[in-house]
Structure 1
Amino acid sequence: MSEEKLYVIKSRSDDNFYFSGDRMMPRWSDNLISLFGSYEVAKEIAEDNNGQPVTFVEEPEKIVITKEQAEIVENAHDQKYPANYISGNSGLVASSEEKLLNAYVNGYTVAKEKKYLVYKTLGGKQEHEQFAQAYRSSVYPGTVSWILTNEVTNRSFSQFTEAEIEHYGLQDCEKEEVTDDGTK
């Protein structure tokens, strides 16, 4: 990040007005608002336009991390020496440590786990292709049941993460990734 500061001119009478070129604008717009590299120039123009110079601060982009990494960052907040805690819990990869330190300082979002529809294509002499699709049983919680179907359908109870596929022993099945909008 550069150490140079940028300044904008904000109206003294209304917090919603910013200086743009030759007048105050009612809304912030990246295309219209003037940025100044010098505080002195911004102050001079601000005085002529009933404004005040303010430092323009750009918020850093949040780091995308896994749920496990988020736990490390959250636990670091409770430590006397957070950087030491992150260093000791981020594994042997230096880039992972740097990523977690950035997440601690700049904030983070947790990556969504990919979800999959899990099924087996059934062979045979039937006229139409058939599938046995896995789903979480509501009758026997914590187990997987199968349904015979003509097409693989996307329902919340039929979506599995990689960890769940491994837990239930479904690695030898076919799988289709489900997108964020719920389609296959």
Structure 2
Amino acid sequence: MSEEKLYAVKNDDGEYWDFADRDGFFELSFAYCPTTDNEEDAKDAVHDYGGHVVAFVEEPKKVVLNKEQAEIVDDAHGNEIPASFIASKSDDEELMMNAYVNGYTVAKEKKYKVRVPETQTSYYYKGSDGHVHASDTSGGLDNEFSDYELQQYGLDGERFKKEEVTDDEQ
């Protein structure tokens, strides 16, 4: 997280000091330069003209977690001692504590289409019978596999050509 801050001076009427003109308070939309990066300038304006200093701090970036990690962080929020809970459930305490404090997003699971070996147009798909089948058409078929499913169905070997599915295809 950046330690750089911006400062504004706001009065009781909700108006902001204009650091460009230095001649008064204005509505935010009319102030030419309502912020400064110099805390002392902001404090001097308060001392001389009133109001109070408002500090703007950059919001920290959210951490990217997988589903399992996200569940641990969620469960930690309901725990009496969150740091101990996280330490007991994860090897990466720093990542998890950052997610606990700053928030997180869940990484989208990669999906793959798998070509039938030695064909140009055939792909595997998951049938309603719980087995994998091959087809030359892909319309309406469940033909996207997660890493776990690739292992489960035995499609993770070198002989299988996997094509990662992008967001536009999903």
Tell me what 1:111 maps to. 107
Partner of residue 133 from structure 1, selected from 107, 123, 126: 123
Partner of residue 43 from structure 1, selected from 40, 43, 46: 46
Tell me what 1:127 maps to. none
Identity of aligned residues (%): 41
Question: Contact 2:7–2:35 at 8 Å: present in 1 too?
Answer: no
Deviation string for 1:115-142 (max 9, x for gaps)?
Answer: 111112435xxxxxx33211222x43x4
Tell me what 1:21 maps to. 20
Deviation string for 1:49-92 (max 9, x for gaps)?
Answer: xx64212132111111111111111111111111011111113x
Alignment pair present for 1:158 and 2:146 = no
Question: Contact 2:6–2:36 at 8 Å: present in 1 too?
Answer: no
Q: 1:10 to 1:117 in 2, by over 3 A?
A: farther
Question: Contact 1:8–1:42 at 8 Å: present in 2 too?
Answer: no
How does the TM-score come out when normalised to structure 1? 0.70
1:1-184 → structure 2 map (5 Å cutoff): 6-10=6-10, 12-14=12-14, 19=18, 21-22=20-21, 24=26, 25-26=28-29, 33-38=35-40, 39-44=42-47, 47=50, 52-91=52-91, 96-122=92-118, 130-137=120-127, 139-140=128-129, 142-149=130-137, 157-172=142-157, 173-182=160-169
Could you tell me how far apart the structure 2 residues matched to 1:178 and 1:27 are?
49
Could you tell me how far apart the structure 1 residues matched to 2:29 and 2:34 are?
11
Query: How far apart are residue 5 of structure 1 and its match?
Result: 6.0
AA aligned to 2:135 is: I
Query: How far apart are residue 27 of structure 1 and its match?
Result: 8.8
- Structure 2, unmatched stretches of 5+, are none
Aligned residues: CA RMSD: 3.4
Question: Contact 1:62–1:109 at 8 Å: present in 2 too?
Answer: yes
Could you tell me how far apart the structure 2 residues matched to 1:53 and 1:4 are?
16
Query: How far apart are residue 180 of structure 1 and its match?
Result: 2.0
Question: Contact 2:123–2:136 at 8 Å: present in 1 too?
Answer: yes
Query: How far apart are residue 157 of structure 1 and its match?
Result: 2.2
Question: Contact 1:10–1:19 at 8 Å: present in 2 too?
Answer: no
Deviation string for 1:85-117 (max 9, x for gaps)?
Answer: 1111113xxxx2110011111111111111111
Could you tell me how far apart the structure 2 residues matched to 1:81 and 1:27 are?
48
Q: 1:170 to 1:2 in 2, by over 3 A?
A: closer
Higher-strand-fraction structure: 1
